[in-house]
Structure 1
């Protein structure tokens, strides 16, 4: 049973919706519908979605299919799907054992600052890693979270502006918990040729639970963003 982090005294309440295991396009539709409602001011609800995808490659607005190194036949054999998406960034992998977090928020409570928002997403992961004595870091010029020269969390956000001026976010972060790192060999992750990828399971000898890390990331999100999370079904 998933448990929502304990409410804090923050005035901003964010709904948490766990989509479970869901195909990429289905989850994309869910977040796009929520973002559209925020953009049109039909709702003012702030929502964070968590989801685990089947093997999927997405190509961001700054990406190229040249950074997919596996053949179409190999991708088909492995059960991969490939999508062009409207987030920032290059080529990214999603798959089992990877915790994907899609915050669909308007940024008014966070000074409507997109750069600050991305840094806060990074801080969520850095703080969670500290709890198990893993030293994550930022790498200048490379959004995301790194352990040494290996990326453990990719970040790719999209923002649009409401008529009232607030930016509305979609997409988010992809954090490798028990991810099969061999799957990254099908791509040049984020178009970076001289660095690797890693996961929590690779970095620790202790048993690693996806659900435990989902809760750890949510607690960290509530702390960094100074919000109360309320589970919504």
Structure 2
């Protein structure tokens, strides 16, 4: 039986390591639940979670990333009050910080659809629709994940990065959506390993600082609609 009920959690501003540990704990719980179900005649539906969080300044490097794409040494990280982690998601290096909505959907895709490509495209679509709500036209860039503006010309710039992990069709990690983040921090890396494209935010595009709590509500609704979730707060 498919369970489309999803527990929504907003963790606020949380240290990256603490959030990673909590995410791993939740992910493991869902995977273990699936494993247990296979040993039982009657299955209990697996749980799903949609987590929003903001992190203090941090750089994370995915499994396929190149360490040289971090342009700071240890002292440079201290000067920027930033931390650095190598993690188990896909993708290269990215930045997280205040003013950015980081989304961690921990979903059993057996409850929705077992297609990672479609999963990523659906998350992208939720961000694209959220931006459209604010009058910002965004889309996809062929060959790259994430959400982009002006992807068809030399002004291409990324506003949302993505990197996920999936095991037994249970997802973790997710997306980082720049609402009013300090974009100067992206100058210290080669974002997502792409050295010739800019990074932007809603604040830069709109010319004013949007209310991040309002943006969260819009984004949460778009995700729920596209996945046909029943969100539980």
In the alignment, is the contact (CA less than 8 A) between 1:35 and 1:169 conserved in 2?
yes
The answer to whether the aligner puts 1:30 opposite 2:22 as a matched pair is yes
In structure 2, what is the Cα distance between the partners aligned to 1:198 and 1:182? 10
The answer to whether the aligner puts 1:17 opposite 2:9 as a matched pair is yes
Q: Which moved more, 1:36-45 or 1:141-150?
A: 36-45
- Residue of structure 2 in register with 1:130 after alignment: 132
- Residue of structure 2 in register with 1:99 after alignment: 101
Normalising to structure 1: TM-score of the pair? 0.90
- Residue of structure 1 in register with 2:46 after alignment: 44
SS in 1 for 2:146: strand
Structure number having the greater strand percentage: 1
- Compared with structure 1, are the counterparts of its residues 134 and 40 closer, same or farther at alpha carbon in structure 2 (3 Å cutoff)? same
- Alignment RMSD: 1.4
In structure 2, what is the Cα distance between the partners aligned to 1:53 and 1:45? 25
**Would you say how many aligned residue pairs link Structure 1 and Structure 2?**
217
In structure 2, what is the Cα distance between the partners aligned to 1:159 and 1:71? 31
- Residue of structure 1 in register with 2:157 after alignment: 150
In structure 2, what is the Cα distance between the partners aligned to 1:29 and 1:11? 25
In structure 2, what is the Cα distance between the partners aligned to 1:207 and 1:21? 18
Q: Which moved more, 1:205-214 or 1:188-197?
A: 205-214
| Residue 208 of structure 1: how far off its partner (Å) | 0.8
Deviation >3 Å, runs of 4+ = none
In the alignment, is the contact (CA less than 8 A) between 1:110 and 1:117 conserved in 2?
no
Q: Gaps (5+ residues) in structure 2?
A: 37-44, 151-155
In structure 2, what is the Cα distance between the partners aligned to 1:60 and 1:73? 22
Q: Gaps (5+ residues) in structure 1?
A: 1-9, 162-166
| Residue 11 of structure 1: how far off its partner (Å) | 6.9
In structure 2, what is the Cα distance between the partners aligned to 1:136 and 1:216? 16
| Residue 141 of structure 1: how far off its partner (Å) | 0.9
In structure 1, what is the Cα distance between the partners aligned to 2:200 and 2:135? 15
In structure 2, what is the Cα distance between the partners aligned to 1:230 and 1:40? 22
Spell out the pairing of 1:191-210 with structure 2 (5 A cutoff).
Answer: 191-210=193-212
CA offsets, 1:154-184, max 9 Å, x none?
A: 00000001xxxxx000000000000000010
